[in-house]
Amino acid sequence: MGEEIRSVQLIDGDGEFNFPGVEHFMKATKLAECGLSYAVVSIMGPQSSGKSTLLNRLFQTDFREMDALRGRSQTTKGIWLAKCVGIDPCTVVMDLEGTDGRERGEDDTAFEKQSALFALAISDIVLINMWCHDIGREQAANKPLLKTVFQVMMRLFSPRKTTLLFVIRDKTKTPLEHLEPVLREDIQKIWDSVSRPDAQKNTTLSEFFNLEVTALSSYEEKEVQFENQVAELKQRFVHSIAPGGLAGDRRGVVPASGFSFSAQQIWKVIRENKDLDLPAHKVMVATVRCEEIANEKLSHLTSDERWLELEEAVQSGPVSGFGKKLGSILDAYMSEYDMEAIYFDEGVRTAKRKQLESKALHLVHPTYQALLGHLRTKFLEKFKNDMEDALKSRKGFASSVRECSQTSILEFDQGCADAALSQADWDASRVREKLSRDIDAHAHSVQNAKMSELTRRYEAKLTESLAEPVECLFEAAGKDTWASIRNLYKHEAENALSEFSSSLSGFELDKVAFDEKIMNLKEFARSVVEKKAREEAGKVLIRMKDRFSAVFSQDKDSMPRVWTGKEDVRKITKNARAEALKLLSVMAAIRLDENPDKIESSLLSTLMDAPIAQEMKPVTSTDPLASSTWEEVSPSNTLITPVQCKSLWRQFKTETEYSVTQAISAQEAHKRGNSVLPPPWAILAIAILGFNELMVLLRNPLYLLVIFVVFLLFKALWVQLDVTTLFQNGILSGFLSLSTRFLPTVMDILRRLADEGQGQPHVPQNPQHLPLDPLSFRRDSQRQAQLSNPPVPDASSSSSTLSSPRSGVECPATTRMVDADTEASSTS
């Protein structure tokens, strides 16, 4: 709906047809698009009989309803039109001005009859709203009005079958089965009494109308029952124009696009006919005068000082003896009315007296309701205070609620009895039920708060007793890790559930709620373990590298491993990887249910036993790890899928390959450091290839002397420069160190030889150099090499860099060894 519009005045109180308003209504509601698929419903009945209220509840319309706080008066003027909500097909409803209204008076009922005739003429269904206690009465049941309408309708319009649905309001104990025959009989008598044209002398009532009767309970006293009955009645209007539906004969119905024009023409014809009967003069006078007296007494009651004082007192809180005080005031005014109206028509006098009594009670009813509200608030607060005191005394929760609730309800009933009026049969059960609901709601709220606090306390206890121990067990993950976790979980959960069950006993929960609370806490304990397992699974790669490092870099005595060349690096690496793979199998799935699985065997057989080349092949359907689930493990218990395991294993091997390479380099460096002579094959090659040169040396002894001197100089330089130590750090670094130290060392040796030949003692420029002699020269050379180039430990000690992550200690010498090996490997 493009523009929001719910209702429009079709005909105003002066009888003017609102054609522009109806056109606007049709456009806004898209009524013109419905073709013949629409229905028209109208309602007529006495003024202030709840017609608008019934339509609003029945069709979700927004007709103006009477404000009970301002008294009973005319609410609907003229005829109003609205679209029903939630009814298929499209249905429009007309709310007619009430009949027998004092605003128009008894001498101006022409509009009432014209509007009723108009409703019968254009409606498919007409609701006749009437009070249950008025059935059988001549005037109140709209019999004269219906008689006139029947007669004029036959004279003005061609026969069209309309459904008359009589809605009996405020149904009494008399069954509907007894009321309906009486009502149908009265309607038939009205029809028979109507004078009809000769052409329609033998026309039966059923040819013009379908008669339906329904009854509704009192809206004020039995609201829930009233709403349920209205909901049932609403279903009868669904598909009302279908065959067998509630609507009458659809012959002659105009298309929806012509609805406004058709209604305008019908109203024009009705307005031009003024030959409508009027009520009797006697009844009219009695009606007007008795109503004036009643209005006067009601006005005096409104300004009565005793009533105003009582009303003001109630605003502040409960008033003791309210019922007796108010009852005496009402009796006084009713007695005055009886005295002044005694000579008027008895039927009218009695009816107006009932109206006066009804209006007076309606006037004081809000104060009575306010008093009940004060009583409800008072005893609700009493229940809260009593409940708080009972809980402080450590009584059982459920027993405390029962005791305090019974006391508050009993005292409330006593207060209601004191406030009751003898003239009214007011029911305080709704307020009592509301007090009971408020008490239950407060008790439920306190119970929820107590149980939430209790649950949080035990959840915190379970978190503290499970989270850290489970984390420690995962850090030292092994074959029995999940068995230990299960034992821990079972022990802590049983202890917590036992204490929790004892704490819940005071709440007296039903078995379903009790079992639910226990199950929730048990599931929370499991969730703590599962959450911690998922957290640790996210760190599995770090754990695997730590486990590999611990096994690879430490011996069986947990001492740092020294790589001397005698160790089987391949075997140690395989063992370390196997331990890391076992840790991965532990972290791959949650095993709280003791269900057997083949995760460890699958990982070992696929990743440890399979060749490396096979691991690098693309994943195929024959690969046990080419899956997103484990056999015999549910997806909810899976922490790491087989495919993820394979990916983690490749990443793990890549990141630990460097440690294995370092160990192998350390072994090779150690071997090179302990080997002085060249290999035997090199010695043999030198002997064979250098035989001719050897014979030349033997024939010329002078060559031997020169070679010997050169050898001594070379030996002195070798010792002085400590060439072996320099090249242990790599070929490139050795040559760089040798190039920077060679010339100064040669000059120093020649200077010492010259000083020795001249017999002068040599004062070394470097205080670390000692006098040159066969023994001191070697020692001096060694010390100078140690001072100028810090000694590099044996290559086998490089393995100490692979210290356990748990020790948190790293050896500096090992770090230098690793750097040297790294430089050497990069140079080579």
What value does the mean pLDDT of the chain take?
Answer: 78
| pLDDT confidence bin for 767, thresholds 50/70/90 | very low
pLDDT at 138: 61
pLDDT at 56 over 60: yes
Q: What percent of the chain has pLDDT over 70?
A: 79
pLDDT at 359 over 50: yes
pLDDT at 207: 79
Contact 569, 667 (CB under 8 A): yes
pLDDT at 214 over 50: yes
CA dihedral 500, 502, 506, 511 (to 10 degrees): 80
pLDDT at 281 over 50: no
Choose between 3 and 351: higher pLDDT: 351
pLDDT at 136: 67
Predicted confidence (pLDDT) per residue in 632-667, tens digit = 788 888 889 988 888 889 998 888 888 888 888 888
| pLDDT confidence bin for 731, thresholds 50/70/90 | confident
| pLDDT confidence bin for 137, thresholds 50/70/90 | low
Residues 79-100, mean pLDDT to the nearest whole number: 88
Choose between 665 and 255: higher pLDDT: 665
pLDDT at 802 over 50: no
Predicted confidence (pLDDT) per residue in 317-333, tens digit = 888 888 888 898 999 99
Which tokens is 557 given?
Answer: 């005595």
| pLDDT confidence bin for 584, thresholds 50/70/90 | confident
Alpha-carbon distances of 240 from 34, 125, 246, 258, rounded to whole Å: 15, 9, 5, 21
| pLDDT confidence bin for 668, thresholds 50/70/90 | confident
Measured distance CA(194)–CA(203) in Å, rounded:
11
| pLDDT confidence bin for 588, thresholds 50/70/90 | confident
Which of 108-122, 552-566, 809-823 is predicted with the least confidence, judged by mean pLDDT?
809-823
pLDDT at 442 over 60: yes
Choose between 776 and 417: higher pLDDT: 417
pLDDT at 108: 57
Helix axes 731-758, 701-721, angle to 10 degrees: 120
Amino acid identity of residue 194, one-letter, is: V
Which of 409-418, 727-736, 744-753 is predicted with the least confidence, judged by mean pLDDT?
727-736
Output the pTM of the full model: 0.41
- Within 362-472, strands assigned E span none
Q: Which of 403, 352, 433, 424 is nearest to 508 (CA)?
A: 403
Residues 195-208, mean pLDDT to the nearest whole number: 77
Residues ≥6 apart with Cβ < 8 Å to 372? 416, 419, 428, 431
Residues 804-821, mean pLDDT to the nearest whole number: 35
Choose between 746 and 646: higher pLDDT: 646
| pLDDT confidence bin for 745, thresholds 50/70/90 | confident
pLDDT at 93 over 90: yes
Which tokens is 823 given?
Answer: 């430089």
Query: Which contiguous run of DSSP H or E holds residue 56?
Result: helix 51-59
pLDDT at 677 over 80: no
pLDDT at 39: 92
pLDDT at 486 over 80: yes
pLDDT at 619 over 50: no
pLDDT at 82: 94
The residue assigned the tokens 């019934």 is 54
Choose between 103 and 801: higher pLDDT: 103
Which of 29-43, 636-650, 788-802 is predicted with the least confidence, judged by mean pLDDT?
788-802
Kindly state the DSSP code that residue 617 receives in the 8-state scheme.
Answer: S
| pLDDT confidence bin for 806, thresholds 50/70/90 | very low
pLDDT at 34: 86
pLDDT at 605 over 60: yes
Give the distance between the most distant pair of CA atoms in the chain: 178
First CA to last CA across the chain, in angstroms? 85
pLDDT at 351 over 80: yes
Residues in the chain: 828
| pLDDT confidence bin for 771, thresholds 50/70/90 | very low
